[in-house]
Amino acid sequence: MKKGIMQVPAGVSNRHVHLSQEDLEKLFGAGYELTKLKDLSQQGEFAARETVSVIGPKGIIEGVRILGPVRKETQVEISRTDGFRLGIDAPVRQSGHLEGTPGCLLVGPKGVAVLEKGVIVAAIHIHMSPSDAQKANLKDGDKVTVFIGGQRPVTFHEVLVRVHPRFRLELHLDTDEANAAWLNNGDKVWMVKDQQSLSMVG
């Protein structure tokens, strides 16, 4: 990795829902199983054919994609833009860190699920395999800087590195971040290990 710089493909996450089996059955009926629409880049993850409506105090967003497989806890990932539309003040969180987050109402074809918590804006992060991490001299939990060139050049600071054998090298960011940087799914970005750019305003 020359001068601590590495190219990483971007994966833009539109709003989506991970469901527990319990909530899946509330929404789609007893014993229901998700059907695969397509595999996602991260091994074992898939976009399901099924969608739900997400409802907050100020609005509704229909047709929100469910990602499989089912998880231990239901988690709704939205952008801050979606949060304003729904009237839900969702915080920036890492996946799975749901304590103290707001809830919402999910509506499916067979019923509703009233969530007491679980609505988050996912924190920007980079997935990588142990071998990519070794090449980049990084470990799980490290933070890096990401630079995106083009017509809206942007630097994202303090981007979390997640290392796992099942992970494929990819920057995950939401639609607000992608649109602010005029970025499309699959575009390459620069990951910079040292955070020189922060030092200038320190």
The amino acid that residue 168 corresponds to is: R
Nearest Cα neighbor of 56 from 101, 10, 104 is 104
Closer residue to its own copies, CB minimum distance, 44 or 199: 199
Phi, psi of 82 (to 5 degrees): -60, -40
Q: How far is the CB of 3 from its own copies (least distance, A)?
A: 8
For 88, other C-beta atoms within 10 Å of its C-beta total 24
The interface region with its own copies, picked from 26-34, 39-47, 49-57, 147-155 by CB under 8 A, is 147-155
The interface region with its own copies, picked from 29-37, 108-116, 133-141, 153-161 by CB under 8 A, is 153-161
Q: How far is the CB of 112 from its own copies (least distance, A)?
A: 25
The interface region with its own copies, picked from 43-51, 94-102, 130-138, 144-152 by CB under 8 A, is 144-152
Q: Which residue has the tokens 């304590």?
A: 99
CA distances from 192 to 5, 153, 173, 195 (A): 5, 15, 16, 7
**Judged by CB under 8 A, does residue 188 bind its own copies?**
no
For 163, other C-beta atoms within 10 Å of its C-beta total 20
Q: Annotate each residue in 75-104 with x if it binds its own copies (CB under 8 A) or - if it does not, as one string.
A: ----xxx--x-------x------------
- Backbone dihedral region of 115: left (phi > 0), alpha (psi from -120 to 50 degrees) or beta? beta
Q: Which residues bind its own copies (CB under 8 A)?
A: 5, 79-81, 84, 92, 124, 147, 149, 151-158, 175-177, 179-182, 190, 192, 196-198, 200-201
